[in-house]
Amino acid sequence: MNTVVRQKTSTPLEHQLGSHFQALAQFNSTEALEASALHARLRGEIESVLHGVVVEEFAPRHSKPDAAQGSRAVRAAAWNIERGLRLDEIISTLGTHPLLRRSDLLLLTELDYGMARSGNRFVAREIAEALGMSYAFAPSYINLSKGAGLESRAAGENAEALHGNAVLSRYPLRRAWSVALPNGKDKMRGNEKRLGSQRAVLAQVEHPSGAIRTVSVHLDAHSSQRHRQRQMSVVLDFLDTLEPRLPVLIGGDWNTTTYNSSRALYAVMGFFRRVAMGPSYFIRNHYLYPERWFERHLFRELERRGYRVRDLNETGAGTLHY
């Protein structure tokens, strides 16, 4: 299911698939693509990239915990950094913000590796190296185009053409895994064609308080509430197979919007339902509390499996935007 390596220059995610992107993009469904002779010929290399995990250690070997938070506290931050388009500002914020700069763990989603839209930079590596942290990066997609909307006009061409999620740590990472999640929609339909699916990246962290497993996961936006629960269940099922049993910290962008966005019609119908319920009422009681009703199945499953959701989250607080 995963490949773990430690290198300082190249990575096992580098590939020779770029010359085939135009031909691969001619297919209008994943089913048609996977039935083709071209895909059969390239399947091994595609799967090697999509199942890969890159791990590198930029953290000092004997990192000490922040005295202000104590040796047993674990400080973590989750952030969807939108491909790393403003990477220099992101690095500056993570390194200077009075709270973020003290993070033991960063659970980051939407990171590019070799995409023209973000300057063909390896976003996860650059953040980790600048902050002196270890990182594990797992690609979710091999992008057959430069992206959607204005991204398609980005200067230059894609290099590795990868997009995924990462865990960064001030402390050593001992193991890492990549877990594929079922797609909410066919990623070969539409203009932004991609190979792959959303993935969770998991890493075992040697924290001063003891070993812990941490997960950065990005659930599908274009999906139903039940599908997002299903994706989370896949992650939890995988965690249940790992030995020895360790404390687990899960975070990321879960897209718990309260909407069924698997189709435009469902999203529009959902919007008018919320208007009928009263915009002010819905904002106060549901947008900021997805666990109360519309996303209850996901959150209740976490609690049923023993995860502490309520006392580790500030319910009713919106996402902090930069």
Select the more confidently predicted residue: 146 or 7: 146
Provide the pLDDT for residue 21: 97
Alpha-carbon distance of 135 to 124, in angstroms, equals 7
- DSSP state string for 176-237: EEEEE---SS-TTSSSS-EEE--EEEEEEEEETTEEEEEEEEE--SSS-HHHHHHHHHHHHH
Asked if residue 112 lies in contact with residue 137, where contact means CB atoms within 8 angstroms, the answer is: no
Provide the pLDDT for residue 6: 44
What's the whole-number mean pLDDT along residues 120-149? Answer: 97
Do the bridges between strand 76-83 and strand 105-113 make them parallel or antiparallel, or are there none, so unpaired? Answer: parallel
- Whether 311 has a pLDDT exceeding 90, the answer reads no
Q: Indicate the burial class of 168 (C-beta count within 10 angstroms; 0-12, 13-18, 19 or more).
A: buried
Helix residue ranges per DSSP H, 118-177 = 123-131
What's the whole-number mean pLDDT along residues 310-322? Answer: 78
Select the more confidently predicted residue: 9 or 240: 240
CATH topology for 3-256?
Deoxyribonuclease I; Chain A (3.60.10)
DSSP conformation class of 109: E
Task: Tell me what the pLDDT averaged over the chain comes to.
Answer: 92
Confidence class of residue 315 from pLDDT cuts 50, 70 and 90? confident
Residue with tokens 């990246």: 201
Asked if residue 104 lies in contact with residue 171, where contact means CB atoms within 8 angstroms, the answer is: yes
Domain ranges in the chain?
3-256
What's the pTM?
0.92
Provide the pLDDT for residue 148: 87
For the stretch 38-73, pLDDT in tens is 999 999 999 999 999 999 999 887 656 555 555 678
Provide the pLDDT for residue 1: 56
Select the more confidently predicted residue: 4 or 145: 145
- Whether 319 has a pLDDT exceeding 80, the answer reads no
Provide the pLDDT for residue 253: 96
Six-digit token string for 186: 């066919």
Alpha-carbon distance of 173 to 53, in angstroms, equals 12
For the stretch 70-109, pLDDT in tens is 567 899 999 999 999 999 999 999 999 999 999 999 999 9
Confidence class of residue 190 from pLDDT cuts 50, 70 and 90? confident
- Whether 7 has a pLDDT exceeding 50, the answer reads no
